[in-house]
Amino acid sequence: MSYYDPPRNPLPAHRQVVRSPYGTPGDPLNPRYRRPRRGLFTMILLPAFGIGAVAIVGESLTADDPYIGIQSGIGFAVHDGEDLVLVPYDRTGTAGFLDKVTHDPTEVRVAAIELDSGDNLWDVQISDEIGWNAAVIAAGETYAYLATDDGLTVLDLDNGAVAAEPGRLLGLEAAQSASGAAYAFDPELQAVVALDVNGTIHTIALDTLEAVTAGADTVATWSGLLFAEGTVPDIGGLTSTEALLADGESSVRIEPTAEGAAGGSLILDGPGGEQRALGTRIYYGGAIVLDQTDYMSTFTVDIDVDELIDDFLEDPAAAGKNLWTGLGNTAAGAGGGHVLVEHQREPNVQKYALNVVSLETGQVTASLDTGINLGRAVTSASGHTAVIAAPADSTWLSDLVIVAPDGSVNRVELADVDFFGNPG
């Protein structure tokens, strides 16, 4: 009897184990992901993006600021207890690539500047047309009313948003005149007056968005002063060698140091005939800045042309003085206890300076250089005077000078923009 012993497997018995890439509930595994390889497209695209970003940033940092030109139609408002000056201005050009994307190459904008601090409350675009004018003619506590070359525009004082576009104001929808000379402010009515294309005069009460037909008295007052055709009046700076003070009786004048002399001193003439010098400074080509707060269309200057010619033939200096007096002859800032004197920095040099002179002491409380003659000067109810000026090395009227009641000066540069080209 034989016994067969089969050969044994030298390896230990085993079974095939199937493993999950996630392990087991008791012993979970985190699968490993292989980082995808960067393709040729990515290797080219990323450097291109980097070069482009550097170029954009470099252009934005080195590009010139846009050209700023303040329009003469500035005006005041009081909103949420803050005294504001509203400044229409032209903005031409762009500050780099990002500015080109976010701004038109030509803009007409309106900025709201706080008088006490000089801070910019808001700054909005209202047109992209070239040579398009706007002027603040009135403001309540909620809305500001602007005469523009397209008609009447109403802005919300909260943020500068357009509350009523030209031709959209209730009561003037189809008849609104596309003229900047068709609107003005009636201080007795506390309302905007508007002439429509049919010759009818309307009134818009402050802080309302509705025009109603004007009464007979208002029509009689404003007939012949508003025009259905014409642009917004451009009010230039106005100076004189003599000006009235706030009391309407006292005056100040520039008196030459000698006959034919280029320099003169500032003299105050009191209501009783008394005179006193305001300081000892000599002003070359000096002149007193006149207040032009009233909007041009509210001036009622009745001029007899024949009489004016005769006056000029007889005494040109006196005739010129009488003509300008019809447009207002009160010294800017006089209500705040000071006067503004514009003068040449040196004799016979066409570079100018502005001095603020105290009426009480005659001392110069502030002074700044300007490149050309000053623009329009307006005075708020709070005693602040805003003057349009040019930088010392420029002929562009791009700066707003705010003279506080204490005689200090704050120069606001509307050309100041941030990285993205937004006015700051």
Model confidence pLDDT, tens digit, residues 327-372: 568 999 998 899 999 999 988 888 999 999 999 999 999 999 999 9
> What's the confidence (pLDDT) of residue 348?
84
> CATH top-level class for 67-222?
mainly beta
Judging by beta carbons within 10 Å of its beta carbon (0-12, 13-18, 19+), is residue 56 exposed, middle or buried?
A: middle
pLDDT band at 74 (very low <50, low <70, confident <90, very high): very high
pLDDT for 298 beyond 80: no
pLDDT for 60 beyond 60: no
Helix-, strand-, coil-residue percentages of the chain, each rounded to 5: 15, 35, 50
Q: How far is CA 381 from the centre of its chain?
A: 19
pLDDT digits (tens, 9 = 90+) for 8-39: 555 555 555 556 555 666 666 665 555 555 55
* Identity of the amino acid at 221: T
Dihedrals φ, ψ of 155, to 5°? -110, 145
Share of the chain above pLDDT 70, in %: 72
pLDDT band at 289 (very low <50, low <70, confident <90, very high): very high
70-80: average pLDDT: 95
> What's the confidence (pLDDT) of residue 295?
60
> What's the confidence (pLDDT) of residue 349?
86
pLDDT for 420 beyond 60: no
* 329, two tokens: 């002859």
- Alpha-carbon distances of 238 from 4, 68, 272, 342, rounded to whole Å: 133, 21, 28, 10
* 53, two tokens: 């970003």
Instruction: Provide the residue ranges of all domains of the chain, joining segments of one domain with +.
Output: 67-222, 239-413
pLDDT band at 59 (very low <50, low <70, confident <90, very high): very low
Secondary structure of 295-359 as H, E, C letters: CHHHCCCCCCHHHHHHHHHHCHHHHHHHHHHCCCCEECCHHHCEEEEEEECCCCCCCEEEEEEEC
Query: Can you tell me the distance from the alpha carbon of 133 to that of 151, in angstroms, rounded to the nearest whole number?
Result: 10
- Alpha-carbon distances of 380 from 149, 197, 229, 272, rounded to whole Å: 25, 33, 30, 29
